[in-house]
Chains A and B, each alone.
Chain A
Amino acid sequence: MGAAAVALLLAAAVAPAADPEAGRRKAQVCAACHGPDGNATIPGTPSLAGQPVFFTHWQLIKYRDGRRKDPQMSPLAEKLDDADMADLAAFYAAQPARGRPAATDAARVAAGRQLAEQHHCTSCHRPGLTGQQQAARLAGQDFDYLLRLLRGFKAKTASDLDGTMTVATQPLQDDEIVSLVHFLASLGTETGR
């Protein structure tokens, strides 16, 4: 798979000290929610498979520093050191993303596709919304999670690394957010399986 190959390259190029196999062992505690290979199945829980190395690593730093808060993630991240985070990020980046089953509406998907272009989502998240560097992979991500997160950015309550997403979501109406999520969630079934 192209995306997986790119993810592997990134993992290798970006963090030479990171050990994906060590990451696989360390990820055992994550598996109950995020799946053994980072493809989660619990609605509302994001998949980590195929996420760029920088993205996962930065999110873990934010949880550890209290900039992103979650009752389950925060206490887990507090126990991680820098090497743990690098290993976990490298492991998940190397796992193929399978996409999440979602009942998407064709008209909404079409509208969301247009919105993604108009709002320049692909400038950072790449054509295909597969993510890069610190910008998350969105293609095939969990429907409920995407919806919660985008609404959080719009409400200025979701943790943002540098403000980009908070700014980007301000012009969006809630109806447009819903359409975007339909589109993003639909990509998994188109490209991942």
Chain B
Amino acid sequence: MRPVIGTLLAVTLALVLAPPASAQAPPPWKQGQPADLANSTLAPIAQPPGPAAASEIPVDKIKVPRGFKVSLWAHGINNARAMVWGDNGTLFVSSRVAGNVYAVVDRNGRREVKVIAKGLNLPNGVAFKDGTLYVAEVSRITKMPGIEAKLDSPPAPEVVYDILPRDLPHGWKYLAFGPDGKLYFNIGAPCNICVPPDTHANISRVNPDGTGFEYVAHGVRNSVGFDWHPVTKELYFATHGRDWLGDDAPSDRLDVAAKKGLHFGFPYCHQGDIPDPDFAQGRSCGEFAPPLLKTGPHVAGNGVQFYTGSMFPPEYRNRIFLAQRGSWNRTEKVGFRVMMVTLRPRDVPKYEVFAEGWLQGDQIWGRPVYTQQMKDGSLLIADDYAGAIYRVAYQP
């Protein structure tokens, strides 16, 4: 098992950077820290430089509901993050600080991992359409046409759109094709808490040829996971709440954008009902779209995915899987699990644990960050800390 890094020693990798406005700006992850917490030992958990060996990954510690079974599907994928399928069954996997994009190919039940791009700038977003892989880095989206036929000699990425902000804080992007065929991505707030420029703290979209840029949702601090309801086609997204408001506030959120142009409150109002102590600026929470669900403080919800397969029991259909990478800005760790959200008409969603066990006491050995459904209806879970992908199957 990969032992764990104490929060005390952990530092800046997962961090956000403050804009270099002040002559003495603190490191980004400390920005917004109140004076009375100045000696707090809380700091982001450091990203290990390499993936864990298969023998160090205690898959049996992952607990799932009765009838489900977890296996280690692939490993050795440094900093494995978002996943998307190619048309011919290649699984493309992104990373963040590792700077790589991977292709995972199944060869007779053995997974072969290839690095198809490296040295990229936090390439967290991968999307696939009509034979072409799209990759989102901090300030640009690129594409690799016909990539599945060239996995061993991948072409240089071609630029689709490269006039996005270059800010590194919350600059890494989730990337996905919406039901309208457009590419959706986040432009995060360039800070922990600040009044962001009009160009930031949103979800945006652009046509796959780089034309037609527009904002979809405003006041979104940083959403690095979203999906569309299989029936209503509405956009559902997870957002990380601000840090340094205490162990139990504010809650992270799961939202639905029923239409374009809604404002979700950042930086004025958190979790729908907490005005920011410094940045509310006289605005009231009632002005903004409330969260569909408060998912808990500091849980760091990343991957959002509706289940559309037929392997899991019927009640799983159209449920949301929400992968929570887990907290750093909280005395007692929370998150490090995959939740499931069942939408209910005229009622708050049901919110339950689907998979947990990456957190043992106050020690972590992995961080579930995104899910991806397989063709057979089983569910893959990527772990960017152990550099692994797990498969959850229903085998009653």
In contact, A14 and B28 (Cβ under 8 angstroms): no
B180 to chain A, nearest CB (A): 33
What 1/0 flags go to B1-36 for Cβ under 8 Å of A?
A: 011110001111101011110111111101000000
In contact, B24 and A162 (Cβ under 8 angstroms): no
In contact, B30 and A120 (Cβ under 8 angstroms): yes
Q: Which residues of A contact B4 (CB under 8 A)?
A: 13
B238 at the binding interface (Cβ < 8 Å): no
Interface size of B in residues (CB-CB distance below 8 Å): 42
A190 at the binding interface (Cβ < 8 Å): no
> Which stretch in B59-67, B96-104, B198-206 binds the other chain?
B96-104
B119 at the binding interface (Cβ < 8 Å): yes
> Which stretch in A98-106, A128-136, A138-146, A180-188 binds the other chain?
A128-136
Interface of B is mostly: loop
B13 interface neighbour in A53, A123, A134, Cβ under 8 Å? A134
B48 at the binding interface (Cβ < 8 Å): yes
> Which stretch in B49-57, B283-291, B333-341, B373-381 binds the other chain?
B49-57
A170 at the binding interface (Cβ < 8 Å): yes
In contact, B27 and A61 (Cβ under 8 angstroms): no
In contact, A120 and B53 (Cβ under 8 angstroms): no
B195 at the binding interface (Cβ < 8 Å): no
B168 at the binding interface (Cβ < 8 Å): yes
Q: For the complex, what is the distance from the CA of A10 to the CA of B49, rounded to whole Å?
A: 13
B99 interface neighbour in A67, A85, A134, A170, Cβ under 8 Å? A67
In contact, B28 and A170 (Cβ under 8 angstroms): no
Q: For the complex, what is the distance from the CA of A119 to the CA of B25, rounded to whole Å?
A: 7
A151 at the binding interface (Cβ < 8 Å): no
Q: For the complex, what is the distance from the CA of A61 to the CA of B13, rounded to whole Å?
A: 15
A124-B11, A164-B12 given; 14 more Cβ-contact pairs under 8 Å = A15-B50, A17-B53, A66-B118, A120-B26, A120-B30, A132-B9, A134-B46, A135-B11, A161-B13, A161-B97, A162-B15, A162-B17, A163-B17, A167-B168
B222 at the binding interface (Cβ < 8 Å): no
Q: Which residues of A contact B47 (CB under 8 A)?
A: 134
B24 interface neighbour in A13, A61, A118, A163, Cβ under 8 Å? A118
Q: For the complex, what is the distance from the CA of A82 to the CA of B9, rounded to whole Å?
A: 23
Sorted nearest first, the 3 A-B pairs with minimum C-beta distance are A163-B168, A57-B49, A133-B46
A134 to chain B, nearest CB (A): 6
A107 at the binding interface (Cβ < 8 Å): no
B55 and chain A: residue at smallest CB distance: A17
In contact, A124 and B27 (Cβ under 8 angstroms): yes
B115 and chain A: residue at smallest CB distance: A65
In contact, B25 and A134 (Cβ under 8 angstroms): no
A63 to chain B, nearest CB (A): 11
Question: Which of B81-116 touch A at CB < 8 Å?
Answer: 97-100
A interface residue numbers (CB < 8 A to B): 10, 13-17, 53-54, 57-58, 61, 65-67, 82, 85-86, 89, 118-120, 123-124, 132-135, 161-164, 167-168, 170-171
Q: Which residues of A contact B76 (CB under 8 A)?
A: 82
A133 and chain B: residue at smallest CB distance: B46
B55 to chain A, nearest CB (A): 8
Q: For the complex, what is the distance from the CA of A106 to the CA of B19, rounded to whole Å?
A: 33
B35 to chain A, nearest CB (A): 14
In contact, B99 and A162 (Cβ under 8 angstroms): no
Interface of A is mostly: helix
Q: For the complex, what is the distance from the CA of A83 to the CA of B333, rounded to whole Å?
A: 30
B22 and chain A: residue at smallest CB distance: A171
B4 and chain A: residue at smallest CB distance: A13
A161 and chain B: residue at smallest CB distance: B97
In contact, B11 and A132 (Cβ under 8 angstroms): yes
Question: Which of B231-266 touch A at CB < 8 Å?
Answer: none
B28 interface neighbour in A13, A65, A164, Cβ under 8 Å? A164
In contact, B168 and A54 (Cβ under 8 angstroms): no
Q: Which residues of B contact A10 (CB under 8 A)?
A: 9
What 1/0 flags go to B345-363 for Cβ under 8 Å of A?
A: 0000000000000000000
B90 to chain A, nearest CB (A): 21
Q: For the complex, what is the distance from the CA of A10 to the CA of B43, rounded to whole Å?
A: 17
Q: For the complex, what is the distance from the CA of A89 to the CA of B157, rounded to whole Å?
A: 32
B5 interface neighbour in A85, A133, A162, Cβ under 8 Å? A133
Q: For the complex, what is the distance from the CA of A10 to the CA of B99, rounded to whole Å?
A: 25
Q: For the complex, what is the distance from the CA of A124 to the CA of B18, rounded to whole Å?
A: 15
Q: Which residues of B contact A15 (CB under 8 A)?
A: 48, 50
In contact, B17 and A164 (Cβ under 8 angstroms): yes
A57 interface neighbour in B20, B50, B97, B119, Cβ under 8 Å? B50
B138 and chain A: residue at smallest CB distance: A163
Q: Which residues of B contact A168 (CB under 8 A)?
A: 25, 27
Q: For the complex, what is the distance from the CA of A104 to the CA of B76, rounded to whole Å?
A: 45
In contact, A14 and B15 (Cβ under 8 angstroms): no
In contact, A162 and B168 (Cβ under 8 angstroms): yes
Q: Which residues of B contact A13 (CB under 8 A)?
A: 3-5
A–B pairs, 20, beta carbons within 8 Å:
A10-B9, A17-B56, A65-B118, A65-B119, A66-B119, A67-B119, A82-B76, A89-B49, A120-B25, A123-B43, A124-B12, A124-B27, A132-B9, A167-B28, A167-B168, A168-B25, A168-B27, A171-B22, A171-B23, A171-B24
Q: For the complex, what is the distance from the CA of A120 to the CA of B17, rounded to whole Å?
A: 13
